[in-house]
């Protein structure tokens, strides 16, 4: 949990959220609203990006500022932490790929989108070129005039954001960069497909979420961001997510904000999604972030600055304790918003995945997941851990990685076996890599050893879900608690480790 008393968490981003209050934009008549929308869409047809792409530091003010709400760190600290730096030093992930080379369609399945936000390039909003604004289902997909997406909550073609959550998520992925205004988004060439499944208080139906997933896959989305979830996952949702996986569409999911094991949390607990936990501005695991074996990686999720949909304040709507109306607003015209939660960690991963596809559109969903996991920076407990998975998202490392690269080290169990009448400690698990170098076992006294001793020969070939090594019990004398450490070394020198604490009683 963040120690900043001014930071607030997002309201529970489950499909069903109980809230005491609501703030929503005054309703516009359907005819007037669609008229405004269609005028905007007329501009969108065939439009090219309005903002130039530069290889220098983005000139977006909040990218280089700090302390805008009294905090002792950069306003867009999260971007820097995962590798989006001043491009002048040559070490920024944007120096490898900024997304402008090839548009990638990303579906944001959420509360909708403020597609008129001044810091959102109109060209960033996905356009269904097979549909015309004529009241006819031109492409025969069952959705009339679905020009930029669909509102699955109200069953119409206006996925407008009355809550603000979806706009905040979308801004992290694709806010206009280098336009001299506001914040910088991750992908400069992304196409955001807004699919509204939740209303202004975060309520929605599982059937709507599932339908939106099917729609996203059918209409060319390569990545789906689901910054929502709950304690139960319907069969319909699972069917839709499995469908996306089978069609090589990556589904990125927020782990949840209750600080509990997410093994039964849907859809974060599924194997076919990339589940994202949260870290704070110091790069430490955020205590509210759900944990467990399902967590793949972690990304920034505390005090995240992004776009504010007009006339929204979702922290207020969610009933955030001790939150004062407008406390999250940033900027003279309140066009930006800061919020905390795994909902805002997930789009960092979504944005990086979209850059990977811009760089190499032939990557499949398994390759995307493998690259993002295996290039993450190990944080929290050494090795793959239940709080942050493989570690902190590393955009530059991911973009530079060989698509086939992986390195895996896991200790799944420890048991006592008899060999030649003597007891040995048997370690089972996995030591594997696409280019296997070597692996070995070390031990250290206590739960956090300061010194280590190698107690095995080099393991010269890959082991997957099998016996790693039998350790002679003579090495375990003199203490009641030992930590066993498996080190896996790739041929390129990269190492990953796994630990197991052994209590002898």
Q: What is the pLDDT along the chain (505 residues), one digit of tens a residue?
A: 333 323 333 333 343 222 222 222 223 333 334 434 443 443 444 443 333 344 557 999 999 999 999 999 999 999 999 999 987 778 999 999 999 999 999 999 999 999 999 999 999 999 999 999 999 999 999 999 999 999 999 999 999 999 999 999 999 999 999 999 999 999 999 999 999 999 988 889 999 999 999 999 999 999 999 999 888 888 999 999 999 999 999 999 999 999 999 888 889 999 999 999 999 999 999 999 999 999 999 999 999 999 999 999 999 988 888 899 999 999 989 999 999 999 999 999 999 999 999 999 999 999 999 999 999 999 988 889 999 999 999 999 999 999 999 999 999 999 999 998 899 999 999 999 999 999 999 999 999 899 999 999 999 999 999 999 999 999 999 899 999 999 999 999 999 999 999 998 7
2 within some domain? no
Separation of alpha carbons 353 and 186, rounded Å = 10
Whether 21 maps to a domain, the answer reads no
Asked whether residue 488 falls in the same domain as residue 348, the answer is no
Shared domain check, 50 and 129: yes
Catalytic option among 117, 165, 168, 490 = 165
Residues 123 and 58 in one domain: yes
In terms of domains, do 396 and 274 share one? yes
Measured between alpha carbons, how far is 371 from 363 in angstroms, rounded to an integer? 10
Asked if 343 is an active-site residue, the reply is: yes
% pLDDT > 70, the chain: 89
| Assigned domain for 361 exists | yes
Only one residue has tokens 């080190």, namely: 487
Tokens of 249: 């569409």
Q: Which CATH number fits the domain that encloses residue 48?
A: 3.40.50.200
Q: Is residue 24 part of a domain?
A: no
Catalytic status, residue 490: no
Tell which of 359, 378, 400 closes a domain.
Answer: 400
Catalytic residue, chosen from 60, 75, 98, 110, is 110
Are 319 and 435 in the same domain?
no
Among residues 376, 400, 424, the one where a domain terminates is: 400
* 52 assigned to active site: no
- Peptide bond just before 206 cis, omega within 30 deg: no
On whether both 370 and 496 belong to a single domain, the answer is no
Q: Quick one: 377 and 446 in the same domain? A: no
Q: Specify the pLDDT at position 48.
A: 38
Q: What is the predicted pLDDT for the residue at 233?
A: 81
If asked whether residues 385 and 430 sit together in one domain, one would say: no
Domain that holds residue 110: 30-400
Single residue among 400, 430, 446 that ends a domain in this structure: 400
Residue 1 covered by a domain:
no
**In residues, how long is the chain?**
505
| Catalytic-labelled residue, pool 255, 289, 343, 456 | 343
Measured distance CA(76)–CA(305) in Å, rounded = 6
Q: What's the CATH number where 426 sits?
A: 2.60.40.10
Q: Is residue 334 part of a domain?
A: yes
**162 falls within a domain:** yes
- Say whether both 490 and 378 belong to one domain: no
């Amino acid at each position: 949990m963040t120690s900043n008393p001014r930071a607030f968490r997002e309201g529970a981003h489950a499909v069903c959220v109980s809230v005491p209050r609501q703030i929503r934009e005054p309703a516009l008549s359907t005819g007037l609203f669609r008229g405004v929308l269609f005028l905007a869409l007329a501009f969108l047809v065939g439009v090219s990006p309005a903002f130039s792409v530069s290889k220098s530091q983005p000139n977006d003010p909040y990218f280089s500022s700090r302390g805008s709400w009294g905090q002792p760190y950069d306003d867009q600290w999260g971007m820097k932490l995962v590798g989006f730096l001043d491009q002048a030093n040559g070490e920024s992930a944007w120096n490898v790929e900024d997304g402008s080379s090839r548009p990638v369609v990303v579906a944001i399945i959420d509360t909708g989108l403020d597609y008129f936000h001044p810091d959102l390039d109109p060209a960033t909003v996905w356009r269904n070129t097979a549909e015309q604004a004529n009241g006819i289902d031109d492409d025969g997909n069952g959705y009339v005039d679905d020009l930029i997406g669909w509102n699955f909550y109200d069953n119409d073609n206006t996925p407008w954001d009355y809550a603000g959550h979806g706009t905040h998520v979308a801004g992290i992925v694709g806010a206009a960069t280098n336009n001299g205004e506001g914040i910088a988004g991750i992908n400069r060439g992304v196409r955001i497909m807004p699919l509204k499944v939740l209303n202004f208080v975060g309520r929605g139906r599982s059937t709507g979420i599932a339908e939106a997933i099917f729609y996203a896959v059918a209409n060319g989305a390569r990545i789906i961001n689901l910054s929502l979830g709950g304690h139960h996952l319907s069969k319909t949702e699972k069917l839709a997510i499995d469908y996306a996986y089978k069609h090589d569409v990556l589904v990125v999911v927020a782990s949840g904000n209750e600080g509990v094991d997410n093994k039964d949390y849907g859809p974060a607990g599924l194997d076919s999604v990339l589940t994202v936990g949260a870290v704070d501005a110091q790069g430490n695991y955020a205590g509210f972030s759900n944990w467990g074996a399902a967590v793949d990686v972690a990304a920034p999720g505390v005090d995240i600055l992004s776009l504010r949909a007009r006339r929204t304040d979702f922290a207020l709507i969610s009933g955030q304790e001790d939150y004062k109306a407008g406390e999250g607003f940033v900027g003279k015209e309140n066009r930006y918003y800061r919020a905390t939660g795994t909902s805002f960690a997930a789009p960092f991963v979504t944005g990086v995945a979209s850059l990977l596809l811009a760089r190499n559109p032939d990557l499949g969903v398994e390759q995307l997941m493998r690259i993002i996991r295996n290039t993450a920076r190990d944080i929290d407990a050494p090795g793959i851990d239940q709080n942050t998975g493989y570690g902190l998202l590393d955009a530059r490392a991911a973009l530079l990685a060989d698509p086939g690269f992986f390195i895996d080290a896991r200790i799944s169990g420890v048991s006592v076996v008899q060999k030649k009448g003597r007891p040995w400690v048997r370690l089972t698990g996995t030591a594997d890599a696409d280019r296997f170098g070597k692996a070995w076992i070390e031990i250290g006294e206590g739960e956090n050893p300061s010194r280590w001793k190698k107690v095995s020969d080099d393991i010269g070939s890959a082991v997957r879900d099998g016996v790693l090594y039998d350790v002679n019990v003579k090495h375990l004398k003199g203490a009641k608690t030992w930590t066993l450490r498996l080190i896996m070394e790739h041929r390129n020198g990269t190492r990953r480790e796994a630990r197991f604490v052994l209590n002898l009683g």
